[in-house]
Structure 1
Amino acid sequence: MSIQALINVTSVVPVKDFEASFSWYQTFFGREPDVVPMEGIAEWQFAENAWVQVSVDPDRAGSTSVALCVKDVEAQRTALTSLHLAVGEIVEYPDIIKMVEIVDPDGNKISFVQNLSNGSGS
């Protein structure tokens, strides 16, 4: 397999209480999931070919980190705060990235990262 063969990325977020997490992620994304393929799984598409899947997995709940790249981390923090979600402070690594973190009800971490380098990567 080569990297060119990849067409999609899905970050899987394991949770204990699906109903509580489902509600939290609805608030987080500001909408219903795009797909509920079966009981205990919900998926939100947030960019072309990029998804977050919330699924019941009590043994792994709280052990996941997801990094989402954004154009403006300050605007993202403001948007999350307006949803009454607990958001961390912005951390900056000069000329590299700025990031802010949020934690879901199970302790899974979601980081919003803004690229500050001159490169085109995220």
Structure 2
Amino acid sequence: MILEMTTQFRVSDMKEGQEWYETLLNKKPDFIPHEGFAEWELIPGCWLQVAEGTLTEGNGPLRLGVTDIESERDRLVEHLHIDRFDIHSRSEVPVKWGTFSDPWGNQLGFFEYLDKSEEKERAHSILGK
């Protein structure tokens, strides 16, 4: 039985990397066990680790569910100066999505449920909200 999960991205400069991910996630790390390493609990039991070290080409994408993909994209373009990424959809897929990179080449993205009642049900089942 799987209880939790983590994924890890590497950055070449931990101070810059931590600041970048704090802006992306709108919060400080939940856990910093030692220098060169920080962790954020994205949802209960789901952790993103950022570690200083040798960059790993081709990581990701790690896509994060959001309630308004366009406003999140605009926020990142303004505050993190990422390139404006395209938002995609297909009739057989229940979400729209987009992908972007952090400054170290790690692939990230957002997705948004098209059916807001499904989004609300998912949030309730995961977060109890």
Instruction: Please classify the TM superposition score into its range, dividing by the shorter chain length.
Output: 0.7 to 0.9
Alpha-carbon distance in 2 for matches of 1:103, 1:19: 18
Of 38, 41, 44 in structure 1, the residue corresponding to residue 37 of structure 2 is 41
1:80 aligns with 2:76: yes
Maintained 8 Å contact 1:14/1:58: yes
Q: 1:24 to 1:98 in 2, by over 3 A?
A: same
Q: Which has the higher strand share?
A: 1
Calculate percent identity across the aligned residue pairs.
Answer: 27
Q: How many residues align?
A: 116
Unaligned runs of 5+ in 1: none
1:63 aligns with 2:61: no
SS of the aligned residue for 1:24 comes to helix
With the length of structure 2 as denominator, give the TM-score of the two structures.
0.73
Alpha-carbon distance in 2 for matches of 1:116, 1:78: 19
Displacement over 4 Å in runs of 4+ = none
Alpha-carbon distance in 1 for matches of 2:47, 2:106: 16
Maintained 8 Å contact 1:14/1:64: no
Aligned to 1:104: 102
